């Protein structure tokens, strides 16, 4: 088995690459390094620097390495920024996914695991998100991920009568945190963990945006899932596709319970040994009280489980970030 990981030099993609290796599956990486880092790709893994918008490059890479499936992680992942850059978001996430599927058809590759997002749900008004909840994305990013899922669905329908129809599944998740390898860490300027880490490293005080929500401690409750668990689920999904086992069209990789921002801050102080009291800022417009997803279907089919405590999430992320200095 050889699988192409698009975006394999990024935070999540690099963890997927390592999880594939651990499972005895040979990974190949294509990444344009717009947000990834070449140093995140293990030296033993073939790495092609290039964009997923280059159909010929993708198809040639798949043929040259006898690829049997694609884990499509590459994309523009900043929901907030996507509001200011909708055309760029659609180019990278919609056109990019279309080109990946076209290249797969060219290279006779029929399995794809799509890294989707819980952003497809928007701001649901239920405490626990299930896969069949109506999709109401609230940003171009969420819309682009939902369209990506539609592209997979429609290509599967179009190839249903072929000798080898497209087999696919989409994995939806919220806030990915921590590290399963000290050489790989989250470098996003928009995610809570790296924002807090950078504040602490700079000797500044992190901020909570609103503490008057309808939650036990007044701060937002969200899904936080460890990147090691996320990567493992991608690998099991790939294995099921290649072996011909049945899969759902989409799975939530959810925590079932969620964590509040204050619980995260408390763990940050506890684990780093930096005693701080977070500043309280104003609410961010449109932030719901609680969004948490169930992971029941993924637990049934993808061996999904939350194997890390909040302290372990913080500790692994902090250690990887500190090792980067």
Question: Active-site residue numbers?
Answer: 141
On the 0-12 / 13-18 / 19+ scale of CB atoms within 10 A, 104 is buried
CA 240, CA 169: separation in Å to the nearest integer? Answer: 10
On the 0-12 / 13-18 / 19+ scale of CB atoms within 10 A, 212 is exposed
- Would you tell me how many other CB atoms lie within 10 Å of the CB of residue 244? 9
Question: Residues 6 or more apart from 65 whose CB is under 8 A from it?
Answer: 2, 4, 26, 28, 46
CA 72, CA 49: separation in Å to the nearest integer? Answer: 15
Length of the chain (residues): 325
Q: Beta strand pairing status for 259-260 and 221-222?
A: antiparallel
CA 85, CA 285: separation in Å to the nearest integer? Answer: 19
CA 234, CA 213: separation in Å to the nearest integer? Answer: 34
């Amino acid at each position: 088995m050889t699988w192409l990981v698009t975006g394999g030099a990024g935070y999540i993609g690099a963890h997927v690459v390592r999880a594939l290796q651990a499972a005895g599956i040979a990974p190949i990486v294509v990444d344009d390094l717009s947000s990834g880092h070449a140093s995140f790709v293990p030296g033993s893994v073939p790495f092609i620097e290039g964009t997923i918008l280059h159909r010929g490059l993708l198809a040639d890479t798949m043929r040259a390495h006898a690829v049997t499936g694609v884990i499509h992680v590459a994309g523009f992942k900043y929901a907030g920024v996507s509001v200011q850059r909708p055309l760029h978001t659609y180019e990278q996430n919609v056109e990019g996914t279309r080109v990946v599927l076209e290249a797969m058809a060219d290279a006779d590759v029929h399995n794809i695991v799509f890294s989707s997002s819980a952003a497809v749900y928007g701001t649901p008004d239920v405490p626990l998100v299930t896969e069949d909840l109506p999709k109401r994305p609230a940003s171009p990013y969420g819309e682009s991920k939902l369209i990506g899922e539609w592209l997979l669905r429609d290509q599967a329908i179009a190839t249903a009568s072929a000798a080898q129809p497209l087999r696919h599944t989409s994995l939806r998740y919220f806030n990915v945190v921590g590290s399963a390898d000290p050489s790989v860490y989250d470098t996003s300027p928009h995610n809570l963990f790296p924002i807090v880490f950078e504040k602490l490293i700079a000797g500044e005080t992190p901020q909570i945006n609103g503490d008057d929500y309808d939650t036990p401690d007044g701060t937002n409750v969200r899904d936080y899932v460890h990147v090691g668990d996320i990567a493992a689920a991608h690998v099991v999904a790939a294995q099921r596709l290649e072996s011909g086992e049945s899969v759902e069209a989409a799975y939530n990789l959810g925590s079932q319970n969620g964590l509040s921002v204050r619980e995260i801050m408390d763990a940050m102080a506890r684990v780093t040994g930096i005693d701080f009291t977070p500043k309280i800022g104003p609410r961010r417009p449109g932030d719901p009280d609680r969004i948490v997803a169930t992971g029941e279907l993924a637990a049934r089919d993808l061996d999904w489980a939350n194997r890390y405590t909040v302290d372990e999430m913080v500790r692994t992320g902090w250690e990887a970030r500190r090792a980067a200095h």
